[in-house]
Amino acid sequence: MNRDSPRKHVIPVMVPVPTDRPYSYAVPEAVEVPPGAILRVPLGPREVAGVAWDGDGEAVDSKKLKEISQVFDCPPLPAEMRRFIEWVAAYTLSPPGMVARMALRAPAAFDPEPPVEGLRLTGNRPDRMTAARERVLAQAADGQAWTRSGLAHAAGVSLSVVDGLAGQGVFERVEIPPRPLVARPDPAFGRAELTPDQQAAAERLREKAAADGFGVTLLDGVTGSGKTEVYFEAVAAALERGGQVLILLPEIALTQAFLERFHDRFGAKPAEWHSDLAPKKRERVWRQVAEGQVRVVAGARSALFLPFCELGLIVVDEEHDPAYKQEDRVFYNARDMSVVRARFGDFPVVLASATPSLESRVNADQGRYDRIVLPARFAEAAMPDLSAIDMRKAPPERGGFLSPVLVEAIGQTLARQEQALLFLNRRGYAPLTLCRVCGHRFQCPNCSTWLVEHRFRRQLVCHHCGHNEAQPEACPECGTLDHLVPCGPGVERIAEEVDRHFPDARTIVLSSDMMGGVKRLRLELEAIAEGEADIVVGTQLVAKGHNFPGMTLVGVVDADLGLANGDPRAAERTFQLLSQVTGRAGRSGRKSTGLLQTYQPEHPVMRALVCGDAETFYEREIAERERAVLPPFGRLAAMIVSAASRAEAESHARALRRAAPVVNEIAVLGPAEAPLALVAGRHRFRLLVHGTRRADIQAYLRTLLEAAPKPRGSVRVQVDIDPQSFL
């Protein structure tokens, strides 16, 4: 560049790489780049999409300064979204570039959707008429533009007939603008007749959604009380105001019934957003959300980073669900970040749950959140009658896992032609295989876990890294044939036991690793809802949001399973999960039962479930957390150090510990070898940072990481603020 060329100006651009600040780029003189504009920029040897950030670019040596390549024809990322990205980055200690990357996950959507090519009648006649041509002309006679295949399909002819006509000038080619992905929802479409309780709740929510301003409401109602109907009214109010709405759901890919319900209420479906969406569809959703054509998105946690232009309400359904926590690259909790997003956008949030997280309950108790309670199920549907089966007193038969009490209840359910659900949160056939002769246990070569037998697939599988091997016949250690035994149950093994007891019943196993993926699961779930199975054996995916009208018995095979893992939230989690599972029973009003197989019937979780006394349970848990200064009364963060060798991981973890400043409000625990000491060939150590509620844990961690040696070689450090997992 010579000295006299016009001065280019320099702008900051957030690029999708682990950088803690935007990079500077030059902009050619005639080009306008507003903050938020999505750009293509050179980065090293490649080109990437980035976002024009705010303020002036830093001065850079003009020889190094590169020029932006392209400004996409795309709505800029709104300022509130840019502030949100910065906030999430600072809170989670993630590079803002990596958070911005989550908002740019649809590269092909940065260019406008190309118009579709269409055909329109010109008035010219074809040289020769046939019956097929007649039909095409009749269809197109309305003068509208048709797509080539749409016209062929409507006329019931092959494409070649249409092409033949076009070739003779009977049609001209025109451009049809891309169709909106979903129709506009109509807030007045199918308003439900609400009960007085629901009505009162709906009005309170409506008021909030109809006014300006940030605020959080916890909608706390038992399963089947009509929370969905009620928050639909808040959605209606937000739509009437011209806002877009985001509804977060933990298992959107599997809760297609939700889309139908939304359609019944609003006359149109919401746009879906989740990882099982085809790429083309994702791109259209992203684009139409940015342009404002899509008014409502029902999505998984990552929908929070969609580029809404007029977001006016977020609903987080099943707000307690652990699926809202992302534990990959940027560790964040979408429920908590929804509240932050709403604060930046100055609009309300609704958190709905039958078993709120302790965090949300305490926020409500302390007046930071409004709380609305729906105490009863709709239409006098009774809650299931829950009791514990004391496994010490009513043990299963030898080699089995089902107590005679549960087996008898299943028999009675079948006799009434109703459905039973057996819940066990363990995939596969058996969690451990061992050799009866030498005691050898089959372990994953890459992880410190046992291999899980999957009998249908005839494989031993690692649930952490995916390693799998054919089911062996001989012990690799002592060579003895046919002496390998499965230990403990998974859903497949329970199904086998059920088959022994009830050979004529139609039994289905449902777990997330089923062949055929999401599509197959959806079909199975529909079939179950329509009564096409008698007994369902399933993992937690059957617990979520499904409505099985004929389900009157829920048996929990191992109610103690989640209590033993040393996680401070173990009791809360177990209570939430088991409430949700047993809540699948009796949703259509028939008398229903839940049976919990447990070796500790006196445990507070079992007592709370059996007595239906959630309040006592919450009070006790809250008091305990307060005493231990655990969240929400204190703060936690984890540092997970991993490396190719155990020694490297340990030594870096110790170095972090040595770098930890000594302060009053914060303590560092560890390092300790992680319970999952080896995952996918990487050795892991953990440190836990524990602070009071007032402590600035982020600032503390920043200082610590700054003072510690930089990770070298294979060493990686992952920070997890508000950890949910302690493995």
Among 24, 92, 139, 195, indicate the residue that binds ligand ADP (CB under 6 A): 195
Instruction: Give the interface segment with ligand ADP, choosing from 216-224, 503-511, 558-566, 665-673 (CB under 6 A).
Output: 216-224
The residue type at 16: P
Nearest-5° Cα angle at 341, 323 to 546: 30
Is residue 378 near ligand ADP by the rule CB under 6 A? Answer: yes
Interatomic CA distance for residues 38 and 71, integer angstroms: 6
Given Zn ion, ligand ADP, none, residue 387, with its beta carbon under 5 to 8 Å by kind, binds none
- Both tokens of 238, joined, read 């937000």
In sequence order, the β-bridge partners of residue 42 are 47
Nearer to Zn ion, 290 or 447 (CB): 447
CA distances 460 to 378, 467, 514, Å, are 45, 8, 15
Letter for the amino acid at 71?
V
- Assess 376 for contact with ligand ADP (CB under 6 A): no
- Which residues on adjacent β-strands are paired with residue 510? 538
Q: Which residues pair with 673 in a beta bridge?
A: 685
Q: Name the amino acid, one letter, at 673.
A: E
Cβ proximity to ligand ADP, 480 vs 547, nearer residue: 547
Which tokens sit at 596?
Answer: 């919990």
**Span from 125-133, 192-200, 511-519, 524-532 in contact with ligand ADP (CB under 6 A):** 192-200
356 binds, among Zn ion, ligand ADP, none (CB under 5 to 8 A by kind): none
Q: CA–CA separation, 499 vs 296, rounded Å?
A: 44
Structure tokens at 213: 């301003």
CB 208 within 8 A of CB 217: yes
Q: Is 229 in the site for ligand ADP (CB under 6 A)?
A: yes
Among 32, 61, 127, 193, binds ligand ADP (CB under 6 A): 193
Taking the least distance from each CB to Zn ion, the nearer of 78 and 490 is: 490
Site string for ligand ADP, 136-175 (x = CB under 6 A): ----------------------------------------
The binder of ligand ADP chosen from 139, 198, 425, 642 (CB under 6 A): 198
- Distance between CA atoms of 49 and 166, rounded to whole angstroms? 40
Sign, CA dihedral 109-110-112-116, equals negative
- Closest approach of Cβ 486 to ligand ADP, in Å? 37
**Can you give 682-701 as a three-state secondary structure string?**
EEEEEEEEEEECCCCHHHHH
User: Which tokens belong to 699?
Assistant: 């600032």
Site string for ligand ADP, 522-561 (x = CB under 6 A): -------------------------x--------------
Q: What is the 3-state secondary structure (H, E, C) of 204-226?
A: HHHHHHHCCCCEEEEEEECCCCC
Least distance (Å) between residue 245 CB and ligand ADP: 17
Question: Using the rule CB under 5 A, which residue among 446, 448, 565, 651 binds Zn ion?
Answer: 446
CB of 116 to ligand ADP, least distance (A): 38
User: Does residue 234 interact with Zn ion by CB under 5 A?
Assistant: no
- Taking CB within 5 to 8 Å according to partner kind, which of Zn ion, ligand ADP, none is near residue 225? ligand ADP
- Total residue count of the chain as it appears in this document: 727
Q: How many residues bind Zn ion (CB under 5 A)?
A: 7
CA distances 12 to 1, 31, 77, 331, Å, are 21, 15, 14, 25
Query: What are the Cα distances from residue 702, in Å, to 92, 638, 697?
Result: 11, 13, 9
CA distance 224 to 201: 15
554 binds, among ligand ADP, Zn ion, none (CB under 5 to 8 A by kind): none
Site stretch for ligand ADP (CB under 6 A), options 188-196, 526-534, 616-624, 648-656: 188-196
194 binds ligand ADP (CB under 6 A): yes
Q: How far is the CB of 318 from ligand ADP (least distance, A)?
A: 9
**Alpha carbon 245 to its chain's center:** 17
Closest approach, Cβ 192 to ligand ADP, in A, equals 5
Helices H / strands E in the chain, number of each: 19, 32
**Residues of this chain, 111-130, that bind ligand ADP according to CB under 6 A:** none
Which of 219, 254, 306, 462 contacts Zn ion by CB under 5 A? Answer: 462
Measured from the CB of residue 443, what is the shortest distance to Zn ion in angstroms?
Answer: 9
| Min separation Cβ 16 and Zn ion, Å | 29
Q: Is 469 in the site for Zn ion (CB under 5 A)?
A: no
266 binds ligand ADP (CB under 6 A): no
Q: Which SS3 state, helix, strand or coil, does residue 298 take?
A: strand
How far is Cα 353 from Cα 365, in angstroms, rounded to an integer?
15
Query: Helix 159-167 crosses helix 131-140 at what angle (to 10 degrees)?
Result: 80
Pick from 94, 228, 357, 539 the residue near ligand ADP by CB under 6 A: 228
Contact status: 674 vs Zn ion (CB under 5 A): no
Per-residue x/- track, 481-520, ligand ADP (CB under 6 A): ----------------------------------------
Q: Does 597 bind ligand ADP (CB under 6 A)?
A: no
Cα gap 371→363, rounded to integer Å? 9
Q: How far is the CB of 262 from ligand ADP (least distance, A)?
A: 11
With CB cut-offs between 5 and 8 Å by kind, which of Zn ion, ligand ADP, none does residue 444 bind?
A: Zn ion
Partner touching 226 among ligand ADP, Zn ion, none, CB below 5 to 8 Å by kind: ligand ADP
Report d(CA 425, CA 442) in Å as an integer.
Answer: 21
C-alpha to C-alpha distances, 636 to 294, 342, 719, nearest whole angstrom? 38, 24, 11
For the bound state, the minimum distance from the C-beta of residue 581 to ligand ADP, rounded and expressed in Å, comes to 13
Q: Are 218 and 364 in contact (CB under 8 A)?
A: yes
Pick what 105 binds: ligand ADP, Zn ion, none; C-beta below 5 to 8 Å, kind-dependent.
none
Question: Residue 338 corresponds to which amino acid?
Answer: S
Q: Number of residues in contact with ligand ADP, rule: CB under 6 A?
A: 15
Interface with ligand ADP includes 223 (CB under 6 A)? Answer: yes
Asked if residue 460 binds Zn ion (CB under 5 A), the reply is: no
8-37: which residues touch Zn ion (CB under 5 A)?
none
- In this complex, which beta carbon is closest to ligand ADP, that of residue 102 or of residue 351? 351
447 touches which of Zn ion, ligand ADP, none (CB within 5 to 8 A by kind)? Zn ion
Q: Got the DSSP string for 532-590? A: --SEEEE-GGGTSS---TTEEEEEES-TTGGGGS--TTHHHHHHHHHHHHHTTTTTTSS
Binding site for ligand ADP (CB under 6 A): 192-195, 198, 221, 223-229, 378, 547
Binding site for Zn ion (CB under 5 A): 444, 446-447, 462, 464-465, 467
